[in-house]
Amino acid sequence: MILGAVEVIRPGLLTTVQDLGRFGHQALGVPVSGPMDRFSHRLANQLVGNDANAATLEVTLIGPELLFATASVVAIAGAVFDVSCDGRAVPMGESFAMLPGQRLRFGRVVQGARAYIGIAGGVLTPRVLGSRATHLVSRMGGIGGRALLAGDRLPVLAEPDRRPHRKAPGLTLPTGGRARLRVVPGPQDHWFQREALETMASVSFRVSPRSNRMGYRLEGPPLLRASAAELISEPVGMGAIQVPGAGEPILLMADRQTAGGYPKIGHVISADLPLAGQLAPGDFIEFILCERKEAVAALIARERQLLRSAARETHEHA
């Protein structure tokens, strides 16, 4: 394998290396991390012919400028940005070629908050505990466990296989800075006053400026507990809605801790977590209560979207 490089000219607001996450070490307190929008990460990889776990670049709100020292096949999925290559517009949700010496520039974000840059062969930073995912708090993975900086050089394949042109529909992004997220109640919804679930499903919560990749602090009416008892800490997953004693809910996201002691009033369903990953501080969330049966059906539909895209590409280029 011959390595080439992509040089960071401008890093953007928060651009990190992410694969699907660092699983298998939560019992030791090692967070999973990974993409905030797993669907778009996987789609970007699919469009350039990568395995779903290949490392992409997660771009947040203000994108980077990258100089390709190596010929590469690239695709961008997720949030819609104005993107150009040497002054020419670059399509979203579609693979395209980058030649040595060309620059990929991100302009304004049009819709959503996070985009994923897939590069054929993946971004080949060293693995830490089996993963290239960047976890900012522990400074683990990616490049020194941090966001990209100007002057960084990202190792990629020097001569990626030429893959056919690919195009696929992406995530239906939240509009107007507002997302509707389905929630399965529990496992500690009984710890809350009877009206708490009804309140959660009848108002809009604003994503606080104090939010980050660990979790979204949500501003709105407090979700009050029925008792002052404390929960023994237990494992937590992405999408859990924890509620501290004051009643301000926290939606746990990609860089969440491995365990927590706040009761969880509900979980955002897996199919809707990519939508949550496309929100930014100041955006709004409307929660919709649903049953597990609906959550499973929605996840199957989401997975089929990726399968249909893959099947379409196989048919078109057979």
- Does residue 303 lie in a domain region? no
- Does residue 182 lie in a domain region? yes
- Pair (251, 187) in one structural domain: yes
Neighbours of 242 (CB within 10 A): 21
- Pair (115, 217) in one structural domain: no
CA-to-CA distance for 231 and 111, rounded, in angstroms?
39
- Pair (18, 101) in one structural domain: yes
- Pair (129, 210) in one structural domain: no
Phi, psi (rounded to 5 degrees) for 5: -150, 155
Global confidence as pTM:
0.95
Query: What DSSP state is assigned to residue 36?
Result: S
pLDDT for the residue 310: 65
- Pair (20, 153) in one structural domain: yes
- In what helix (H) or strand (E) does residue 306 lie, and over which residues does it extend? helix 292-316
CB-count exposure of residue 3 (10 Å: 0-12, 13-18, 19+): exposed
- Pair (90, 223) in one structural domain: no
Burial 260-297 (b: 16+ CB within 10 A, else e): bebbbbbbbbbbbbbbbbbbbeebbbebeebeeeebee
- Does residue 287 lie in a domain region? yes
Which residues constitute the domain of residue 267? 178-298
- Does residue 312 lie in a domain region? no
Q: Which residues pair with 234 in a beta bridge?
A: 260
Residue that is last in its domain, among 104, 126, 157 = 157
Q: What are the average pLDDT values for consecutive 10-residue runs of the chain, which has 318 residues? A: 90 98 95 97 95 97 97 96 95 93 97 97 96 97 97 88 74 91 96 94 97 98 90 95 96 96 96 98 97 97 85 54
- Pair (148, 263) in one structural domain: no
CA-to-CA distance for 255 and 238, rounded, in angstroms?
8
- Does residue 84 lie in a domain region? yes
Question: Which residue has tokens 């000219």?
Answer: 9
Q: Tell me the DSSP string of 52-81.
A: TTS-EEEEESS--EEEESS-EEEEEEEEEE
Q: What is the CATH number of the domain that holds 38?
A: 2.60.120
Q: What is the pLDDT of residues 231-271, one digit of tens each?
A: 999 999 999 999 999 999 999 999 999 999 999 999 999 99
Q: What is the pLDDT of residues 268-284, one digit of tens each?
A: 999 999 999 999 999 99
Query: What DSSP state is assigned to residue 91?
Result: -
Q: How many separate domains does the chain show?
A: 2
Residue that is last in its domain, among 108, 128, 157 = 157
- Pair (49, 144) in one structural domain: yes
pLDDT for the residue 308: 78
